[in-house]
Amino acid sequence: MLRQLIGGGLVMGTATFVGWSLASRLSGRPQQLRSLQTAVAILQSEIEWGQTPLPTALRSAAAAAGGRVADLLCVAASLMEGAPAALAVTDPESESVVEGQAHSPKEALRQAIIHHGPRTSLTTEDLAVLAALAPVLGTTGRHDQIRHLALARERLTGAEAQARANLERYERLARWGPVLVGAAIVLILS
Amino acid sequence: MLPAALRPFLPPRLAALIEGRPLPGALTEIRLRLGRPIQLIWVGGDGFLCADGRATLDPSAALSADDALFGEVLHLVTRGSLYAWEDEVRSGYLTLPGGHRVGLTGRALTENGEIRTLQPITGLNIRIARAVPEIARPLLPHLLDGGRLRSTLIIGPPGTGKTTLLRDCCRLLSLGLPGLIPAHRVGIVDERSEIGGAVAGVPTHDLGPRTDLLDGAPKALGLINLVRSMSPQVVAVDELGKHADAEAVQEALHAGVAVLATAHGWDVADLRRRPALSTLMQDGAFERLITLVADKRPGRIGEILVASGDGGWRSIDTTTAPRRLQPAAGDD
């Protein structure tokens, strides 16, 4: 009896955790997409009006964005500056990153997305918007940079609208679905 | 050896190659042309960099600046932010901390007859700036007459050390040479950041304790602003050439400020052929003319010329020991 109780508790606990994790990821996505839009807007402003060097501009964008998105942008900035072990601190398996060597914006952003993207609630499609910026960021004149950033913002706005619709539609299902499945398993096994 | 301030702007493998083997003279330029051999220029010669760090005269045996290496250097010198250097790219150069200058070439995109940008950039010339303290000490006493500093133009072909000499003149004038030259308030308009090698407006070269630096300002505008705002006794500018520069020099002289300047040219005849400079020469703006000659060491003086008053110039004997000044009250 005691074993059944413990087993049932474990199944319910795990199911609840899975449900809440899924719901949290679902509700985190629009928030992070909004943060990313803020970051891109700051980046756009820093480039257009301040002609601020990219690492500093990325840090300003990170400060405005906050959370996991800020971590990703800060890592990209650190890699561009060749800050020692920018990724090794959080990911010891980042072999392609050479300590102390300044990376191109393309490589820095690519590495930051690879290593920090999965820690955000952003989907592969969301991160692809950021990845599309990587080859052009910092490599052309101001007007061209502004055009690319404006396009990225448009795409992120669209992604946010879609993420909010998904949240309304699937949040309850994501939160309580696994709990119900867990409860069903417990009932069947008992 | 590469200056420490320059090393962060070169990929480590390139810096290691350049520093790997000693060159016959001090390194002055590193030239990278996309897809072509990397050229090194040192005092007294040049050669192409080999994959083992040797310098060779055979371009086919040399290391090429491939896409990856060239892109890496371009990324480093622009700090991955080409958009932040648009004005510099338009002008064809940008200045690194330490006053090292990077010349840029590539495909020029024009708009209304003016260069809008270079896209793509396919050539880089990294010119190494070296401060040579005390280089101007033997020269300075000859620039004074009756205890007053005379406006001076330093001329010489590229690479003879005009900026180096000007920088040290500023430093020593600002410092003063006890019993010989009183300390002066010096103002520098450093349009290309080569004199002071400033980073965020703060000079990385020693310019003396009484020197004000206006970094990045166009010469003509900067000269007038500096005279108004900082009341210098001496103003210094590099590479005069435009009519606007000449007018600003005249303005400064009318305000009672001595001008130290440099210009490209071989001799007085060369200056007279350049419209803006010939006006200055005709108006007697400069009372001293220093010609520099190419030599292993920068700032090698060819001749010191003194305005004779009738529009002509007489050469002075530089071996004569300068007279010592009597200490005067109020010298600052």
For residue A87, the model assigns a pLDDT of: 58
B69: number of Cβ within 10 Å: 18
The token pair that represents B329 in the structure block? 């009250």
Cα–Cα dist B38/B75, whole Å: 17
Burial per residue of A73-88, b for 16 or more beta-carbon CB atoms within 10 angstroms, e otherwise: bbbbbbbbbbbeebbe
What are A77-99's pLDDT values in tens digits? 999 887 655 555 444 444 455 55
Average pLDDT along chain B, 332 residues, taken 10 residues at a time: 87 91 88 96 90 92 93 90 89 86 92 87 91 89 90 91 94 92 95 85 92 94 95 95 93 95 90 89 92 83 87 76 43 36
Q: Among A82, A104, A141, whose Cβ lies nearest the Cβ of B71? A: A104
Contact yes or no for A145 and B80 at CB 8 A: no
Cα–Cα dist A152/B67, whole Å: 27
A-facing residues of B in 192-231 (CB < 8 A) are none
Residue A182 in this model has a pLDDT that exceeds 70: yes
- Within 8 A of A80 by CB-CB distance, chain B residues are 80
Q: What is the mean pLDDT of residues A103-117?
A: 90
For residue B324, the model assigns a pLDDT of: 47
Confidence (pTM) = 0.71
Closest listed residue to residue B196, CA positions, set B212, B185, B173, B181? B212
Looking at the complex, report in whole angstroms how far the Cα of residue B189 sits from the nearest Cα belonging to chain A.
22
**Can you name the residues that pair with B155 across neighbouring β-strands?**
B263, B291
Q: Among A53, A82, A108, whose Cβ lies nearest the Cβ of B81? A: A53
Between the CA atoms of B158, B42, B29 and B40, what dihedral angle is there, to the nearest 10 degrees? 130
A174 within 8 A of B116, measured Cβ to Cβ: no
Closest listed residue to residue B295, CA positions, set B102, B54, B49, B28? B28
Contact yes or no for B84 and A52 at CB 8 A: yes
Cα–Cα dist A68/A121, whole Å: 9
Phi then psi for B133, rounded to 5 degrees?
Answer: -60, 145
- Within 8 A of A49 by CB-CB distance, chain B residues are none
B115 shares contact with chain A (CB less than 8 Å): no
Q: What is the DSSP string of A21-73?
A: HHHHHHHHHHHHHHHHHHHHHHHHHIIIII---HHHHHHHHHHHH-HHHHHHH
Q: Report the residue of A52, A104, A149 to disrupt the B interface, i.e. the one with the largest count of B CBs within 10 Å.
A: A104
Looking at the complex, report in whole angstroms how far the Cα of residue A48 sits from the nearest Cα belonging to chain B.
9
Q: How far is CA A54 from the centre of its chain?
A: 20
- Within 8 A of A82 by CB-CB distance, chain B residues are 8
Contact yes or no for B75 and A102 at CB 8 A: yes
Cα–Cα dist B227/B248, whole Å: 10
Phi and psi based region of residue A59 (left: phi greater than 0; alpha: psi -120 to 50; beta: remaining): alpha
- Within 8 A of B76 by CB-CB distance, chain A residues are 102
For B13, which residue in chain A has the nearest alpha carbon?
A101
Looking at the complex, report in whole angstroms how far the Cα of residue A81 sits from the nearest Cα belonging to chain B.
8
Between the CA atoms of B263, B264, B270 and B276, what dihedral angle is there, to the nearest 10 degrees? -50
ipTM of the complex: 0.73
In chain A, which residues touch B (CB < 8 A)? 47, 51-55, 57, 80, 82, 101-102, 104-105, 108, 137-142, 144-145
Coil/strand/helix, residue B276? helix
Which residue reads 């010339």 in tokens?
B125
Sheet with B114-127: list strands edge to edge.
B55-56, B45-49, B39-42, B27-33, B114-127, B101-111, B93-95
What H or E segment, with its residue span, contains residue A170?
Answer: helix A142-189
The token pair that represents B14 in the structure block? 């390139």
A-facing residues of B in 82-101 (CB < 8 A) are 82-84, 86, 89
For A98, which residue in chain B has the nearest alpha carbon?
B12
A60 within 8 A of A73, measured Cβ to Cβ: no
Cα–Cα dist A131/A114, whole Å: 10
Residues in chain B: 332
Closest listed residue to residue B82, CA positions, set A57, A53, A78, A26? A53
The rounded radius of gyration (Å) of the Cα atoms in chain A is: 21
Residue A138 gets which letter from DSSP?
T
What H or E segment, with its residue span, contains residue B308?
Answer: none
Q: How far is CA B240 from the centre of its chain?
A: 11
Cα–Cα dist B43/B61, whole Å: 22
Residue B99 gets which letter from DSSP?
S
Residue pairs spanning A and B at CB distance below 8 A: 55
Cα–Cα dist A73/A105, whole Å: 11
For B72, which residue in chain A has the nearest alpha carbon?
A104
B154: number of Cβ within 10 Å: 29
For residue B325, the model assigns a pLDDT of: 44
B167 within 8 A of B132, measured Cβ to Cβ: no
Pairing of the two strands B93-95 and B101-111: antiparallel
Coil/strand/helix, residue B129? coil
Q: Among A80, A82, A140, whose Cβ lies nearest the Cβ of B83? A: A140
Q: Report the residue of B13, B70, B81 to disrupt the A interface, i.e. the one with the largest count of A CBs within 10 Å.
A: B81
